[in-house]
């Protein structure tokens, strides 16, 4: 493709992109394709000769698009959103045009310094201690792994990095029983053994019970084991439960344990001052992660990890071969030393575009709108006979289900599973589920960038109609 063709097709694509964003609701939220259906439409071997862009783009529209789930559809209510927004998309276009590799200050000074500044902005806007420092990672999974590796190294005085495990360590990690699977994965990768993840009991709101945490830590110490790290959740993935951050920090401080706060989804809510009391006492914790790529209108991927003392993290990861050394290393941040990757994308640019384009107030307004819509939907559910909400609605996630008189839990679970599947099959809305205390619940997450009252009303009508049909079949 020559430069002139690039200009022509880039203009065409921008028009297509703008049309897509305007008309995204006309697509079914989830595609109705069978396994291998897309694969089988693609040639078995790569083309030897270059092909025209017109043809490539036609195939994108005819083969790929029909097999996509439309995460930006306003009736995407499943999992947690992975929102984009116009300013974020524009930043991605510039990022890929510059094609910069931002591993150190020298390899793109502006990328490093913009990253420092936008992380400071977010830290201050979220009410996180002003002494903490931030770094952008690809995902919360990676950021949490980095925190756990740093906790391991700090505890072993950086011995494991040098010599490997001695075999005498018996490190223990604690989290609530509603912990996200990324913690299990991090523990595996860090060589700590998933058996050493102690799942602490939760209260009736699915939040970690601090007394149970303290007792578990004491029991391990008495048994000669070494408590390493507590991972608390600000917004669990199942039901957005919030662990008592301040009380957990007191306990971790008392025992000299790393405290990592996983706020991957709900952390965005801290931009609203009324939610900042949730992290009261976090000053005594060690790290905090949240994903602007979920609820902060910054397209995937973009995670921010904040640390009380980045020195420990840098000591864990820095490893500077001769060819990467520069004269400036003492004066600047080289973010390659703040995590696992050497090469890094210029993700700060999209945060900068999003924050400036919306303004903090613009973002807050959107969040408040989502929270208001959620309260509305929760009220409809509460006022409907036979339906129940099984977890407190702390943010914008509702966990609800149909109860059945004279039925056992299995039958109830099956009913709710069928109900959700029938709704999703229409392609008009998309929900996902979880289990709370063994009960199958539908999760309704109202946080897509462009969701409005109209979308939740249509989804509600769809839910009720589908339910009615299924109830009649019983």
Binding mask 340-359 for ligand PLP (x = CB under 6 A): --------------------
Nearest distance from residue 304's CB to ligand PLP, in Å? 11
Report if residue 239 touches ligand PLP, rule: CB under 6 A: no
For ligand PLP, the closer CB: 264 or 391: 264
Between residues 282 and 467, which has the closer beta carbon with respect to ligand PLP?
282
182 binds ligand PLP (CB under 6 A): yes
Q: Cα–Cα distance between 55 and 345 in angstroms, integer?
A: 29
Contact between 216 and 252 under an 8 Å Cβ cutoff? The reply is no
Q: Which residue, 137 or 467, has its beta carbon nearer to ligand PLP? A: 137
Closest distance of CB 262 from ligand PLP, Å: 5
Q: 41, 69, 139, 276: which one contacts ligand PLP (CB under 6 A)? A: 139
C-beta closer to ligand PLP: residue 70 or 178: 178
**Closest approach of Cβ 432 to ligand PLP, in Å?**
12
Cβ atoms 265, 447 nearer than 8 A: no
With CB under 6 A as the rule, give the number of residues binding ligand PLP.
Answer: 14
Instruction: Name all contacts of 363-371 with Cβ < 8 Å and 24+ positions apart.
Output: 363/271, 363/296, 363/297, 364/271, 364/272, 366/297, 366/449, 367/268, 367/269, 367/271, 367/272, 367/295, 368/272, 370/295, 370/396, 370/446, 370/447, 370/451, 371/395, 371/396
Nearest approach in angstroms of CB 194 to ligand PLP is: 16
Dihedral sign for Cα 303, 119, 103, 312, please.
negative
Range in contact with ligand PLP (rule: CB under 6 A) among 258-266, 410-418, 428-436, 441-449 = 258-266
Torsion region of 138: left, alpha or beta (phi above 0 gives left; psi -120 to 50 gives alpha):
alpha
- Binding range to ligand PLP, per CB under 6 A, among 21-29, 55-63, 101-109, 233-241: 233-241
Q: Least distance from C-beta 294 to ligand PLP, angstroms?
A: 6
By CB under 6 A, is residue 262 in contact with ligand PLP? yes
Contact status: 206 vs ligand PLP (CB under 6 A): no
Q: Does 264 bind ligand PLP (CB under 6 A)?
A: yes
Residues 6 or more apart in contact with residue 425 via CB below 8 angstroms: 32
CA pair distance 258, 370, nearest whole angstrom:
34
Contact between 80 and ligand PLP by CB under 6 A: the answer reads yes
Residues 6+ apart with CB under 8 A from 365: none
Strands 397-402 and 439-445: antiparallel
Residue 308 CA to residue 412 CA, distance in Å, equals: 46
Token pair for 230: 């507590």
Least distance to ligand PLP, CB of residue 46, Å: 30
Q: Does 233 bind ligand PLP (CB under 6 A)?
A: yes
Contacting ligand PLP within 92-131 (CB under 6 A): none
**Smallest distance from the beta carbon of 5 to ligand PLP, in angstroms?**
36
Residues 6+ apart with CB under 8 A from 122: 134, 292, 304, 351, 355
How far is the C-alpha of 201 from the C-alpha of 221, rounded, in Å? Answer: 19
| Nearest of 238, 315, 212 to residue 230 by alpha carbon | 212
Query: Given the complex with ligand PLP, which of 70 and 260 has the nearer CB atom?
Result: 260
Q: How many CB atoms are closer than 10 A to CB 129?
A: 15
Query: Among 95, 140, 186, 230, which residue interacts with ligand PLP (rule: CB under 6 A)?
Result: 140
Question: What residues make contact with ligand PLP under the rule CB under 6 A?
Answer: 80, 139-141, 180, 182, 233, 235, 237, 262, 264-265, 291, 303
């Amino acid at each position: 493709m020559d430069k002139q063709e690039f200009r022509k097709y880039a203009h065409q694509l921008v028009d297509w992109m703008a049309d897509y964003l305007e008309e995204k609701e006309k697509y079914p939220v989830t595609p109705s394709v069978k396994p291998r259906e897309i694969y089988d439409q693609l040639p078995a071997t790569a083309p030897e000769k270059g092909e025209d862009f017109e043809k490539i783009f036609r195939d994108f529209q005819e083969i790929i698009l029909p097999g996509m789930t439309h995460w930006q559809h306003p009736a995407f209510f499943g999992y947690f959103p992975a929102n984009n927004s116009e300013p974020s998309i524009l930043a991605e276009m510039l990022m890929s045009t510059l094609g910069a590799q931002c591993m150190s200050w020298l390899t793109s000074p502006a990328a490093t310094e913009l990253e420092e500044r936008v992380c400071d902005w977010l830290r201050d806007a979220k009410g996180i201690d002003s002494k903490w420092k931030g770094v952008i990672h690809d995902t919360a999974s990676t950021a949490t792994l980095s925190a756990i590796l740093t906790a391991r190294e700090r505890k072993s005085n950086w011995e494991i990095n040098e010599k490997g495990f001695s075999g005498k360590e018996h490190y223990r990690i604690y989290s609530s029983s509603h912990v996200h699977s990324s913690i299990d994965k991090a523990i595996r990768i860090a060589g700590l053994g998933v058996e050493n993840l102690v799942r602490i009991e939760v209260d009736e709101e699915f939040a970690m019970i601090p007394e149970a945490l303290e007792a578990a830590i004491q029991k391990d110490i008495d048994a000669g084991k070494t408590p390493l790290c507590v991972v608390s959740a600000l917004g669990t993935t199942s039901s957005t439960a919030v662990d008592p951050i301040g009380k957990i920090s007191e306990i971790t401080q008392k025992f000299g344990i790393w405290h990592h706060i996983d706020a991957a989804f709900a952390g965005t809510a801290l931009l609203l001052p009324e939610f900042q009391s949730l992290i009261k006492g976090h000053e005594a914790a060690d790290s905090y992660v949240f994903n602007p790529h979920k609820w902060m209108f910054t397209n995937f991927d973009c995670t921010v990890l904040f640390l009380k003392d980045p020195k420990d993290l840098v000591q864990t990861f820095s490893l500077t071969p001769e060819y990467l050394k520069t004269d400036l290393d003492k004066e600047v941040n080289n973010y390659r030393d703040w995590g696992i990757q050497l090469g890094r994308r210029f993700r700060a640019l999209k945060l900068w575009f999003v924050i400036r384009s919306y303004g903090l107030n613009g973002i807050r307004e959107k969040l408040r709108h989502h929270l208001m819509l959620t309260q509305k939907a929760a009220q409809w559910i509460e006022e409907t006979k036979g339906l129940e909400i099984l977890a407190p609605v702390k943010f914008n996630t509702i966990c609800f289900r149909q109860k059945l008189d004279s039925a056992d839990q299995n039958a109830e679970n099956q009913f709710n599973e069928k109900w959700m599947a029938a709704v999703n099959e229409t392609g008009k809305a998309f929900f996902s589920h979880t289990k709370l205390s063994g009960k199958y619940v539908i999760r309704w997450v109202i946080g897509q960038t462009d969701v409005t009252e109209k979308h939740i009303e249509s989804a509600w009508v769809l839910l009720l109609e589908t339910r009615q049909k299924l109830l009649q079949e019983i």
